[in-house]
Amino acid sequence: MARCEVCGNDYGMSFEVHAQGAVHVFDCFACAIHRMAPICEHCRVQIIGQGVEVDGNWYCGGHCARAEGKVGIVDRV
């Protein structure tokens, strides 16, 4: 068993996420999203889909990136 780094639950079915050289332990996807999902610079929603990265900033989509003045952003449909 391992302790979730978000909620502290010591759960037998916890899992690890390896990202950017670090290992994170979670007991559920909700805790993993809470800790790891980037937040849109415009509308502040947690991005759990593709998202759009522009100049090191994350946006939930092209609309929010353009609303922040970013140009040349195309959503993939």
My answer on whether 27 and 43 are in the same domain is: no
Report the predicted TM-score, pTM, of the whole model to 2 decimal places.
0.77
CA atoms of 60 and 73, how far apart (whole Å): 12
Domain span at residue 3? 1-36
Give the DSSP H/E element, type plus range, for residue 32.
Answer: helix 29-36
Give the tens place of pLDDT for each residue, 1-46: 799 999 999 989 999 999 999 999 999 999 999 999 999 999 999 9
Residue 69, both tokens: 């003045």
My answer on whether 26 and 48 are in the same domain is: no
Domain count of the fold of the chain: 2
My answer on whether 76 and 43 are in the same domain is: yes
Q: Are 59 and 51 in contact (CB under 8 A)?
A: yes
My answer on whether 67 and 48 are in the same domain is: yes
My answer on whether 1 and 30 are in the same domain is: yes
My answer on whether 55 and 69 are in the same domain is: yes
Q: Are 13 and 31 in contact (CB under 8 A)?
A: no
Residue 12, both tokens: 């037998």
